[in-house]
With several copies, the nearest count.
Chain A
Amino acid sequence: MPEKLGIGFVPSPELVKAWDTAIQPDGRGLPPGKGCVTDGQRIYVEQCQVCHGISGKGGQYDVLAGRLAENLFPFAAESGHPKTIGNYWPWATTLFDYIRRSMPLLTPGTLSDNDVYALSAYLLHLNELLPESACLDAASLPQIEMPANKRFVPDNRLETSAVR
């Protein structure tokens, strides 16, 4: 088989730009723009609360807010503790990436990048990770230290045939 078959086309720069939207944990991919907690709260109440509840709790779908004491991480053994952004998510960049690509559930793609910064800021605020006065942009979002980050470890099962 030759190195290359010469099948397929070089994509237009427009196509790559339109689709190249994934955000990486170091912040690569984050767009220009900015959004603040207070704007985020307004958008959240309008567009998200119906599914995720007041202040990110008690909605029909995923619980988004809630912290636990620093040394509490009961998710393996006990039930009744929802995993939230504040107590379980390892990276803040995931929040921007996921909201922009997937939310609101029925009309993803309707939020502007500023809206997404604002919603990310508000949800981080609800999780006690940002003050009410905070704003976020491409520089500041990746800086946020997520409480659960240190807990994430790569898969270690395949090193052995024992059950892990």
Chain B
Amino acid sequence: SRRRFLQATATGAGVVLAGQKATADVRRVGPWASQYGERSPFDKVNRTISGNLQHESETPQQALSGMITPSSLHYERHHAGVPTIRPEEHKLLIHGMVEEPKVFTLHDLLRFPQASRICFLECAGNGKHHFKSDEKTTPQRLCGLISQSEWSGVSLSSLLREVGVKKSGSWLLAEGSDACLLTRSIPMERALDDVLIAYAQNGEAVRPEQGYPLRLIVPGCEGSMNVKWLRRLEVSDQPFMTREETAKYSDPLKDGTVRQFSFVMDAKSIITQPAYPLQIEKGWHEIRGLAWSGRGQVAGVEVSDDNGSSWHQAQLQSPVLDKSCVRFGLLWKWDGKERLLTSRVIDSTGYTQPSARELIAIRGKQSLRYHNNTMTTWRVQSDGQVFYQRMD
């Protein structure tokens, strides 16, 4: 790229000697202000669409910075596509074991105190390609089902107070208004804690594919708990045992049991740079990546360049927030030798991200179709090419 730079200078690229006649340096004004901005036409970073129904799209982790995911690149997982909802027709019904059932319009919800929080959403299936992928696999493919936004809306607890939950009410059903009317059960304890009914994502209305106009946000919990296009909450005295918490999203264990309601996402991290398909040069680089925990805050991230023999404390970007993704970095000099790069996160509860072998030993490899939070390893070859290194 030194060559490219010298070329660019030589061929002008808008630059001329500041002589007496500088007419070659004419600069023309560009377009002025616009109503709703778009990204640069040179920015081609996209989600990758996957699944036999094109029901998923993966966030391009390796191309992003900081901790906010642009709403346009927030991962998707749909069970019946994206419904088209007119906001003035949308209603939220809260009923069941309550003193007084109520229905709220968006206008009503805007009158309640607004709460906002930055937190990640992660599909329980994030990591499902780990043990099926070859070395030419990107962070986007391996870990593209996590994204982070600032969500704003009403605390669910404010609305539950408004309807008056009966003593018997210990679970809540959340129902979407997509074609499949997706449902999930949520323990009341959790519902009264930090759950939001979000009408905004990164400042503006929640995006259509993220649940416009209303999405349930259950911080730290698997994506499908965060019911999109939310239309109904039903209070009951037991979980509803919906398909998405029995047949799916449950974890068969090696002892023959099935772990259910394992919706809190364990701590995970991944190096997003350098990673396949980059080729790096010798010298200084920042090894960068993402770390998060559904159990609490990221306490620290360690990076190894020797397959876990030694670990180095990475820097965390700030702020580090509860149930929130953080970008980490470690300044690292590559000496041209083959290296295995790995990261692991430790969260505020003391939980440490396991290696693939460790978690396979505990849960079984097939169990890790969901809730696979194992470490990811990248192999830097001596020619600088970086490849995914399976460790199962």
- Measured CB to CB, the residues of A under 8 A from B are 1-12, 14-26, 31-33, 60-61, 73-79, 83, 85, 88-91, 93-94, 97-98, 101-102, 105-114, 148, 151-158, 161-164
Contact = CB atoms under 8 A, between A and B. Distances in A.
A97 B243 contact: yes
Contact of B246 (A73, A90, A114): A90
B261 A91 contact: no
Interface string B85-124: 0000001010100001111110010011100000000000
6 contacts: A4-B162, A7-B284, A22-B240, A25-B241, A60-B52, A108-B181
Contacts of B243: 94, 97-98, 102
A106 B365 contact: no
B366 A7 contact: no
Residue of A8, A148, A161 with most chain B CB atoms under a 10 A cut-off:
A8
B102 A8 contact: yes
A33 B20 contact: yes
A111 B5 CA distance: 28
A75 B253 CA distance: 8
A77 B366 contact: yes
B356 to A, nearest CB: 12
Interface in B1-59: 2, 5-6, 9, 15-23, 25-29, 52
Given A5-B283, A8-B102, A20-B95, A112 B20 contact: yes
A18 B18 contact: yes
Given A19-B231, A109-B26, A112-B21, A157 B264 contact: yes
Nearest to A29: B240
A91 B250 CA distance: 14
A11 B238 contact: no
Contacts of B111: 5, 7
A161 B180 CA distance: 37
B254 interface: yes
Nearest to A101: B181
A77 B254 contact: yes
A73 B256 contact: yes
> Top 10 A-B pairs ranked by shortest CB distance?
A76-B364, A75-B252, A161-B350, A102-B180, A77-B364, A109-B25, A5-B284, A98-B243, A8-B102, A11-B103
A115 B342 CA distance: 53
Interface in B140-162: 161-162
A6 B277 CA distance: 24
A7 B283 contact: yes
Contacts of A109: 22-23, 25-27, 179
A22 B9 contact: no
Nearest to B22: A109
Given A24-B241, A102-B180, A152-B257, A111 B22 contact: yes
- The bracket for how many chain B residues form the interface is 35 or more
B18 A155 contact: no
A10 B101 contact: yes
A114 B261 CA distance: 31
Contacts, number: 230
A152 B102 contact: no
Interface in B337-373: 349-352, 354, 358-359, 362-367
A101 B180 contact: yes
Residue of B111, B238, B240, B349 with most chain A CB atoms under a 10 A cut-off:
B240
Nearest to A79: B366
B209 interface: no
B229 to A, nearest CB: 13
A15 B364 contact: no
Contacts of B76: none
A6 B282 CA distance: 11
A22 B183 CA distance: 8
A85 B257 CA distance: 16
Given A101-B180, A108-B80, A108-B180, 20 more contacts: A4-B164, A5-B112, A19-B232, A21-B18, A25-B239, A76-B363, A77-B365, A89-B247, A90-B246, A102-B79, A105-B80, A108-B179, A112-B22, A112-B23, A113-B19, A151-B258, A152-B258, A154-B259, A158-B264, A158-B295
Contacts of B295: 158
B93 A11 contact: yes
A78 B182 CA distance: 29
Contacts of B376: none
A89 B175 CA distance: 21
Contacts of A107: 26-28
B93 A78 contact: no
A73 B367 CA distance: 12
A155 B28 contact: no
Contacts of B322: none
Contacts of B84: none
Contacts of B25: 18, 109
Contacts of A148: 258
A4 B161 contact: yes
Nearest to B52: A60
A61 B51 CA distance: 11
A61 B23 CA distance: 24
B240 A8 contact: no
